[in-house]
């Protein structure tokens, strides 16, 4: 998949010619798709080992078959590193196998570049591997750059978002694909490394975060960080390593108090220290990592063995022995994040006076916290994985993307996507208790448009926590918002100064464009009516007879309003219309 230009492939001309010849002869179709049960290629060993470890007892034949097809189709293609190209789809499938993805996803990962880069067609793939695999491969296949031109990148991402609406596994494959490309980014020229890394931080890492796949998000974050700013990455790595070396002394006294407190409350739990990833530390410190303390480089994680309610008992136990910092408790169990993440976060003061971050979750919450939507796939198993992932409609961020993406023109789509995926969220509520999640910095106007019932365009103000507020007021998590509307209200151009979400901005821009078109059509019609009146011709009668519409169609306009707007804009001359409607 060559999205954002990361393809690392070169081809031997004689191999390419041979593949084209086989395709013309009808031999390019899925070589090796029969009942071949010969021993698998040794190169498959890492993939099969991961598959057996996470999914013991499943039939490996489809993986072997998918690999053999991909290997033969990509034969002769090389990565920029000089390695055979098959090493890339094999690595992508191995990443996904280690996460516990289902067999169909792994087969699709092995085949994900065949339709784009070989004579193998999507129809042939569907016939050989079935609809499920074909849908996944099609979802991640890059659009033809020659056909789409400058719009190819934006339209490829639009295609991925649409495919994700049917099956989120498309995004998971895309993320694993990008992760492997980031791992091998050193073989690319510096300018291309920076471009790919920047795009990863702006678009792909946020997708990983929104799907809750922390294991991918952390590594992608750090690899992109290293490519964009090697010096800052090295400084962060050195500072974090030094801080982690002091973790036992810094965290030991706190852990020594927490253990007995949990046992006293009858809570069985495991307490461990979790290091933060480098880019997170760098961003939190604003790039200045000098003097980094252990409490800034790591957090305490408490995994509770019992039911979810024991997490709150554990929280009380922690607060009973370590002083809590006011205002720093976040309950993501009662109020899960957009990506369904559930945990309690609190900040306490250690016996030595340092503030410590403590995360508390049950063991049943842990897989979802680390693997997000992938945990659902793992639980569903092969037979139900597609239905499980396709049916997740509780991911609010995806619904929000889908609400506006189909109408966004190519030149605005990627900017809107970046804004929609920007880090940070606000959870505000309607007066009836419905939660609306919005990006950080969102306003009451964004809230109004998020209601998706026409409220946005009729807005005139808001009540925030019962108090009057302008539509430009920035919302905070926990705010209760009531949008005030008026029957004659309409969007104004200054709304674009404080609307944050891509959906709101798109709706406002479209409403303003419609309003301008209507004003222009009215002005053009008024000018034509007055000119025709001077020739004793009634425009209303000409419209009723169909004469005006016939003239509009003859000039290439589908509707009268388009003709009148063109007249106002000067692209249609008034004397020409008069000659047609009132000759002589």
Run of H or E residues at 439: strand 435-439
Structure tokens at 352: 């030595």
Short-list 82, 58, 459, CA closest to 447: 459
d(Cα 62, Cα 111) in Å, to the nearest integer? Answer: 12
Q: Is the pLDDT of residue 393 over 70?
A: no
For the chain, give the percent of residues with pLDDT over 90: 50
502 has pLDDT over 60: yes
Q: Is 554 a catalytic residue?
A: no
Q: Tell me the two tokens of residue 566.
A: 């063109």
Q: What is the DSSP secondary structure assignment for residue 277, as one 8-state letter?
A: P
Are the C-beta atoms of residues 131 and 122 closer than 8 Å to each other?
Answer: no
Nearest to 132 by CA among 81, 166, 87: 166
In sequence order, the β-bridge partners of residue 426 are 438
d(CA 88, CA 103) in angstroms, rounded, equals 18
> Which tens digit of pLDDT belongs to each residue from 201-213?
988 998 898 888 9
Q: Which CATH architecture has domain 236-371?
A: 2-Layer Sandwich (3.30)
Q: What is the 3-state secondary structure (H, E, C) of 191-216?
A: HHHHHHHHHHHHHHHHHHHHCCCHHH
- The CATH 3.30.460.10 portion of the chain extends over 236-371
Instruction: Identify the three-state secondary structure at position 44.
Output: helix
Can you tell me the distance from the alpha carbon of 549 to that of 561, in angstroms, rounded to the nearest whole number? Answer: 10
Strand partners, 438: 426
Q: Which residues pair with 362 in a beta bridge?
A: 304
285-308 average pLDDT score: 94
Residue 97 corresponds to which tokens in the numbers above? Answer: 């196998």
* Ranges 316-320, 339-343, 510-514, most confident: 316-320
* 120-129, 235-244, 482-491, 535-544: segment of lowest average pLDDT: 535-544
Contact 308, 365 (CB under 8 A): yes
Mean pLDDT of the chain: 85
Q: How confident is the model at residue 432 (pLDDT cuts 50, 70, 90)?
A: confident
Query: For 427, what's the count of Cα atoms within 13 Å in the CB-facing half-sphere?
Result: 14
3-213 has which CATH code? 1.10.3210.10
Q: Which of 334, 337, 323, 330 has the alpha carbon at shortest distance from 359?
A: 330
pLDDT higher than 70, residue 391: no
Share of the chain above pLDDT 70, in %: 86
Give CB contacts under 8 A, 24+ apart, made by 203-210. Answer: 203/157, 203/414, 203/417, 203/418, 203/421, 204/174, 204/175, 204/178, 206/421, 206/422, 206/423, 207/171, 207/174, 207/175, 207/421, 208/175, 209/339, 209/423, 210/338, 210/339, 210/395, 210/397, 210/398, 210/421
How long, in residues, is the chain?
584
Highest mean pLDDT among 97-111, 158-172, 531-545: 97-111
In angstroms, the first-to-last Cα distance of the chain is 64
Structure tokens at 329: 């408790």
The DSSP string of 406-432 is: TTS-HHHHHHHHHHHT-S-EEEEE-TT
pLDDT of amino acid 1: 41
Q: Report the pLDDT value the prediction gives residue 9, as an integer from 0 to 100.
A: 47
Known catalytic membership, residue 117: yes
Helices (H) then strands (E): counts for the chain: 29, 12
Written as six digits, the tokens of 212 are: 């809750």
* Residue intervals in the chain for CATH 1.10.3210.10: 3-213
Q: Judge whether 208 and 216 are in contact, CB under 8 Å.
A: yes
Q: What is the mean pLDDT of residues 239-244?
A: 96
- Give the pLDDT of residue 221: 96
DSSP 458: G
| Separation in Å, CA 258 to CA 145, 296, 307, 321, 461 | 58, 19, 19, 7, 49
Catalytic residue among 6, 116, 128, 153: 116
Cβ count near 575 (within 10 Å): 8
Q: Give Cα separations from 12 to 9, 74, 85, 136, 541 (angstroms).
A: 10, 11, 12, 28, 72
The values of phi and psi at residue 415, to 5°, are -65, -40
Least Cα distance to 129 among 75, 74, 68, 62 occurs for 62
The one catalytic residue among 6, 102, 117, 296: 117
Neighbours of 571 (CB within 10 A): 10
- Give residue 145's pLDDT band: very low, low, confident or very high (50, 70, 90): low
353-381 average pLDDT score: 88
The whole-angstrom separation of Cα 443 and Cα 503 is 13
User: Which bin fits 430, alpha (ψ -120 to 50), beta or left (φ > 0)?
Assistant: beta
Degrees to nearest 5, angle at CA 137 with 132 and 117: 150
């Amino acid at each position: 998949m060559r999205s954002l230009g990361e393809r690392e492939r070169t081809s031997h001309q004689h191999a390419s010619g041979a593949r084209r010849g086989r395709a013309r002869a009808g031999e390019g179709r899925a070589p090796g798709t029969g009942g071949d049960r010969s021993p698998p290629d040794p190169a498959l060993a890492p993939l099969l080992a991961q598959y057996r470890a996470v999914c013991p007892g499943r039939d490996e034949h489809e993986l072997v078959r998918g690999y053999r097809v991909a290997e033969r189709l990509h034969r002769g293609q090389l990565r920029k590193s000089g390695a055979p190209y098959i090493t890339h789809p094999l690595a992508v499938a191995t990443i996904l196998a280690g996460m516990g993805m289902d067999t169909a996803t792994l087969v699709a990962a092995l085949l994900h570049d065949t339709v784009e880069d070989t004579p193998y067609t999507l129809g042939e793939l569907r016939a050989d591997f079935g609809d499920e695999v074909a849908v996944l491969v099609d979802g991640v296949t890059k659009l033809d750059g020659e056909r789409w031109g400058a719009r190819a990148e934006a339209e490829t991402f639009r295609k991925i978002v649409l495919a994700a609406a049917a099956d989120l596994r498309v995004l998971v494959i895309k993320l694993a694909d990008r992760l492997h490309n980031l791992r091998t980014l050193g073989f690319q020229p510096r300018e291309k490394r920076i471009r790919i890394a920047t795009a990863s931080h702006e678009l792909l890492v946020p997708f990983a975060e929104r799907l809750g796949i922390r294991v991918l998000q952390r590594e992608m974050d750090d690899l992109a960080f290293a490519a964009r700013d090697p010096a800052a990455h090295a400084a962060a790595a050195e500072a974090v390593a030094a801080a982690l070396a002091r973790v036992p002394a810094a965290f030991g006294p706190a852990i020594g108090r927490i253990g007995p407190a949990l046992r006293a409350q009858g809570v069985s739990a495991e307490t461990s220290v979790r290091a933060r990833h480098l880019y997170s530390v760098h961003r939190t410190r604003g790039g200045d990592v000098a003097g980094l303390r252990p409490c800034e480089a790591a957090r305490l994680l408490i995994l509770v063995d019992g039911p979810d309610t024991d997490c709150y008992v554990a929280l009380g136990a922690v607060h009973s022995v370590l002083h809590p910092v006011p205002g720093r408790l976040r309950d993501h169990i009662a109020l899960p994040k957009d990506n369904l993440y559930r945990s309690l976060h609190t900040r306490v003061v250690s016996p030595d006076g340092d503030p410590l971050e403590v995360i508390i979750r049950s063991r049943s919450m842990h897989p979802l916290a680390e693997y997000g939507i992938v945990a659902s796939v793992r639980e569903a198993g092969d037979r139900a994985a597609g239905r499980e992932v396709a049916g997740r409609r509780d991911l609010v961020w995806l619904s929000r993307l889908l609400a506006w993406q189909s109408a966004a023109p190519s030149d605005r789509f990627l900017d809107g996507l970046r804004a929609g995926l920007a880090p940070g969220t606000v959870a505000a509520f309607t007066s009836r208790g419905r939660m609306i999640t919005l990006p950080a910095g969102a306003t009451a106007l964004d809230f109004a448009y998020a209601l998706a019932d026409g409220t946005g365009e009729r807005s005139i103000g808001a009540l925030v926590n019962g108090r009057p507020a302008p539509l430009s007021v920035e919302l905070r998590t926990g705010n209760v918002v009531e949008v005030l509307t008026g029957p004659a209200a309409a969007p104004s151009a200054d709304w674009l100064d404080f609307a944050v979400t891509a959906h709101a901005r798109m709706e406002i821009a479209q409403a303003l464009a419609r309003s301008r078109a209507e004003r222009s059509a009215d002005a053009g019609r008024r000018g034509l009516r007055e000119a025709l009146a001077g020739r004793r011709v009634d425009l209303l009668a000409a419209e009723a007879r169909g004469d005006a519409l016939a003239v509009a169609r003859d000039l290439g306009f589908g509707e009268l309003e388009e003709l009148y707007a063109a007249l106002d804009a000067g692209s249609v001359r008034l004397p020409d219309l008069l000659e047609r409607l009132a000759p002589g």
